Amino acid sequence: MRTFVSERARQIPPSGIRKFFDLVLTMNDVISLGVGEPDFRTPWNICESGIYSIEQGVTSYTSNRGLQTLRDALSAHLASRYQLKYSADDELIITAGVSEALDIAVRAIVNPGDEVLIAEPSYVSYAPCVTLAGGIPVPVECTEQDHFRLNPDTLQEKITDKTKALIINFPNNPTGAIMKKKDLEPIADIVTDRDLLLISDEVYSELTYESSHTAPATVKDLWQRTITLNGFSKAYAMTGWRVGFLCAPQEICDAALKIHQYVMLCAPVMGQVGALEALRSAEDDKTSMVNEYRLRRNMFVAGLNRIGLSCHVPEGAFYAFPSAKGSGLSDVEFAERLLREQRVAVVPGSVFGCGGDYHLRCAYAVSRKELTEALGRIETFINGL
Amino acid sequence: MDDKDLELLRILEENSRLSAQEIGSMTNLIQAEVEARIHALEESQVIRKYTSVINWEKAGNSEVSAIIELKVSPERDFGYDRIAERLSRFRQVRSLRLITGTYDLQVMVSGKDMQEVSRFVSEHVAPMDRIRETATHIVMKSYKENGNTLFEQQETERLPYSF
């Protein structure tokens, strides 16, 4: 029998550390710092509105773009919160999470052979999405020296005649780095000079601890060449509701909408109802979650540095990205032995692409009690090396 | 009162038993500064006292609580203040608020049994000057106190890993 699996599906590399993750499932008493989602429950007012909508029989498809009420509220929210101007009618699509938004954004703009730059370390989906769209993912390394911000010189070096777009994600998973306006300006100049498109995944935009988020589309003339992706998962602890959104100038938005209507039709309606409630009434819930993450970050990062895992202060998201270089172990070895010997699960940084070697992604979206316990166990592990 | 003070208050309201060192690591303050700030907040009576949220039912204590609503004739120059302050002196009064609506004051009282509560209401509260009407509601079960739920919630399942 011939192989039915497509070339493209085969091109996507399997996760090299699957076995390691499977091991976690078989072990007891593991403190997992490997979970990239909030540990809070969705605020109850949001849950209640979802439940109520089901009781009322709101269970059908919505328009492809998403509920008008949600798009209107979202458009107003983006304008007041980030000074982002997107029309609810032509420049905004509600998607099934940011994952789908990313996929349709990439497919809407990539031709076969186009190179797409990805600021790494990064979330694991960007490169496979580019590959699936027939493009060629090209990593651009963000280094610890630069506090994991995208360096304009490094970016410049990676641009070729084939480069079509740049994907960035700040606040960043896995590093927690942010890019302020002054950091984005030189990037904006390069993107404009080289006539590139910017795809900006801003799903952690509400989770910043020292300064508020700058949306790249508001910097210089980037708006006309930016696709802004965001969602409700991280800010409102709504990961399972699957609601994200894509914003872009109309021409690009129309192209993405065509793909969206054929592959997804619409985001789940109860999720959209919940998202609307989140915008209307969950500001305080969000603030108290952000306050709690800040406290955890402070104590956890101080703890990591104290026990010898040097860690820059992450200004956003809920990840610490310490270096394990001093241990003499690679990140994969460190993570495996830490799991087996002390039952603490962290994600080896190399999973997140270049620049991640020798680092560990530790999500502090767990209780302070667990963080304290995890720090104790990691310290015992390091002292035993 | 600055942002750091507000942060300390939020932390203490949630768990007042954390040490100054623990609070310091959470707020990037040195231990001595945490102690000094908390001391100042205590001195200025912003922090009134440290207490515990106890599920007395679980502790086997059959204490009885009641919500009493009172219609009160306000006094010239004092409004409701004097009578409210007078009521506050009773040990049995756990909380007391001036409210809008049909009634004026809402009093939460507790006693060791139903008799004590009813005696307190009929002998001490109802006959008080200026109290025109009372409505007593016995608490049958408490589900949430001061923002804290008193029932067990099921743990939600989380993947051990996600990116």
The CATH number for A309's domain is 3.90.1150.10
A17 in a domain, yes or no? yes
**Which residues in chain A (153-212) have CB-CB distances under 8 A to chain B?**
173
Q: Can you tell me the mean pLDDT for A158-185?
A: 98
Q: How far is CA A240 from CA A44, A274, B60, in A?
A: 14, 11, 39
Neighbours of B5 (CB within 10 A): 15
Q: Which of A165, A163, A161, A170 is nearest to A120 (CA)?
A: A170
Is A4 strand, coil or helix? coil
Contacts of A39 in chain B (CB under 8 A): 158
A26 in a domain, yes or no? yes
If asked whether residues A80 and A206 sit together in one domain, one would say yes
- The answer on pLDDT for A24 being more than 90 is no
A373 CB near a chain B CB, below 8 Å? Answer: no
- The answer on pLDDT for A20 being more than 80 is no
Quote the pLDDT of residue B98: 97
* Bridge partners, A167 (sequence order): A118, A199
Q: Give chain B's residues under pLDDT 50.
A: none
The pLDDT confidence band at residue A226, using thresholds 50, 70 and 90, is very high
Quote the pLDDT of residue A15: 66
If asked whether residues A30 and A58 sit together in one domain, one would say no
If asked whether residues A219 and A173 sit together in one domain, one would say yes
A351 CB near a chain B CB, below 8 Å? Answer: yes
Quote the pLDDT of residue B145: 85
Q: How many CA atoms lie within 13 A of A103 on its CB side?
A: 17
If asked whether residues A96 and A20 sit together in one domain, one would say no
Cα A206 off chain centre by: 12
At A127-144, the pLDDT tens digits run: 999 999 999 999 999 999
Quote the pLDDT of residue A22: 82
A1 in a domain, yes or no? no
Element of type H or E holding A164 = strand A163-168
Q: How far is CA A6 from CA A2, A3, A105, A309, in A?
A: 11, 8, 22, 43
If asked whether residues A291 and A242 sit together in one domain, one would say no
A224 in a domain, yes or no? yes
- The answer on pLDDT for A154 being more than 90 is yes
A77 in a domain, yes or no? yes
Q: Can you tell me the mean pLDDT for A308-315?
A: 96
A2 in a domain, yes or no? no
Contacts of A366 in chain B (CB under 8 A): none
pLDDT over 90 percentage in chain A = 94
Of A261, A281, A301, the position where a domain reaches its end is A281
Element of type H or E holding A293 = helix A283-306
The CATH number for A152's domain is 3.40.640.10
Contacts of B28 in chain A (CB under 8 A): 298, 302
Neighbours of A173 (CB within 10 A): 26
At A335-351, the pLDDT tens digits run: 999 999 999 999 999 99
B147 CB near a chain A CB, below 8 Å? Answer: no
- The answer on pLDDT for A354 being more than 90 is yes
Quote the pLDDT of residue A16: 58
B5 CB near a chain A CB, below 8 Å? Answer: no
B156 CB near a chain A CB, below 8 Å? Answer: yes
If asked whether residues A115 and A189 sit together in one domain, one would say yes
Note whether A227 and A86 are within 8 A (CB).
no
Note whether B117 and B110 are within 8 A (CB).
yes
Q: Can you tell me the mean pLDDT for A153-170?
A: 98
At A88-131, the pLDDT tens digits run: 999 999 999 999 999 999 999 999 999 999 999 999 999 999 99
Secondary structure (DSSP) of A211-279: SPPPPGGGSTTGGGGEEEEEESTTTTT-GGG--EEEE--HHHHHHHHHHHHHHTSS--HHHHHHHHHHH
Nearest CA-CA distance, residue B27 and chain A, Å? 6
Q: How far apart are CA A151 and CA A183, in angstroms?
A: 8
Least confident of A14-23, A212-221, A305-314, B28-37: A14-23
If asked whether residues A292 and A307 sit together in one domain, one would say yes
Of A281, A312, A328, the position where a domain reaches its end is A281
Contact B160 A347 (CB under 8 A): no
Contacts of A173 in chain B (CB under 8 A): 163
What is the set of domains in chain B, with CATH numbers? 3-43 (1.10.10.10), 64-140 (3.30.70.920)
Burial category of A353 from C-beta neighbours within 10 Å (exposed 0-12, middle 13-18, buried 19 and up) = buried
Q: How far is CA A13 from CA A21, B33, B157, in A?
A: 16, 52, 29
Give the type of residue at A232. Answer: F
Contact A347 B161 (CB under 8 A): yes
Quote the pLDDT of residue A52: 95
Quote the pLDDT of residue B161: 78
Q: Which of A254, A256, A258, A275 is nearest to A97 (CA)?
A: A275
Give the type of residue at A169. Answer: N
Note whether A136 and A279 are within 8 A (CB).
no
Q: Which of B9, B11, B23, B26 to mutate to test the interface with A (most CBs of A within 10 A)?
A: B26
Nearest CA-CA distance, residue A302 and chain B, Å? 7
What is chain B's Cα-based Rg? Answer: 21
Chain B residue at shortest CA distance from A28 = B160
If asked whether residues A27 and A50 sit together in one domain, one would say no
Calculate the average pLDDT of chain A: 96
If asked whether residues A299 and A150 sit together in one domain, one would say no
Q: How far apart are CA A265 and CA A94, in angstroms?
A: 10
Contacts of B29 in chain A (CB under 8 A): none
Q: Can you tell me the mean pLDDT for A312-322?
A: 97
Q: Tell me the backbone φ, ψ of residue A170, rounded to 5 degrees.
A: -135, 135
Q: When comparing pLDDT for A178 and A15, which is higher?
A: A178
At A38-93, the pLDDT tens digits run: 999 999 999 999 999 999 999 999 999 999 999 999 999 999 999 999 999 999 99
B160 CB near a chain A CB, below 8 Å? Answer: yes
Of A247, A281, A315, the position where a domain reaches its end is A281
Neighbours of A348 (CB within 10 A): 24
Enclosing domain of residue A53 = 44-281
Quote the pLDDT of residue A287: 95
Structural domains in chain A (count): 2
Contacts of B33 in chain A (CB under 8 A): none
If asked whether residues A37 and A62 sit together in one domain, one would say no
At B21-38, the pLDDT tens digits run: 999 999 999 999 999 999
Residue from the list A35, A39, A291 with its beta carbon closest to the beta carbon of B160 = A35
Element of type H or E holding B109 = strand B105-111
A140 in a domain, yes or no? yes
Nearest CA-CA distance, residue A314 and chain B, Å? 14
Contact A35 B158 (CB under 8 A): yes
Secondary structure (DSSP) of A72-90: HHHHHHHHHHH-----TTT
Which tokens in the block code for residue A189?
A: 């100049």
Q: Which of B54, B26, B23 is nearest to B41 (CA)?
A: B23
> To 10 degrees, the CA torsion angle through B29, B31, B36, B38?
80
* Strands A226-231 and A244-247, bridge-based pairing: antiparallel
Q: How far apart are CA A91 and CA B161, in angstroms?
A: 34
If asked whether residues A18 and A51 sit together in one domain, one would say no
Q: Which of B23, B153, B154, B163 to mutate to test the interface with A (most CBs of A within 10 A)?
A: B163
Nearest CA-CA distance, residue A318 and chain B, Å? 12
Contact A291 B10 (CB under 8 A): yes
Cβ pairs bridging A and B (under 8 Å): 50
Note whether A124 and A351 are within 8 A (CB).
yes
Q: Length of chain B in residues, anyone?
A: 163
If asked whether residues A301 and A250 sit together in one domain, one would say no
How many degrees, rounded to 5, is the angle at CA A180 between CA A174 and CA A182? 135
A63 in a domain, yes or no? yes
Contacts 24+ apart (CB under 8 A), A185-190: A185/A219, A185/A220, A186/A152, A187/A150, A187/A152, A187/A155, A187/A216, A188/A216, A188/A219, A188/A220, A188/A221, A188/A222, A189/A152, A189/A220, A190/A152, A190/A155, A190/A156, A190/A159
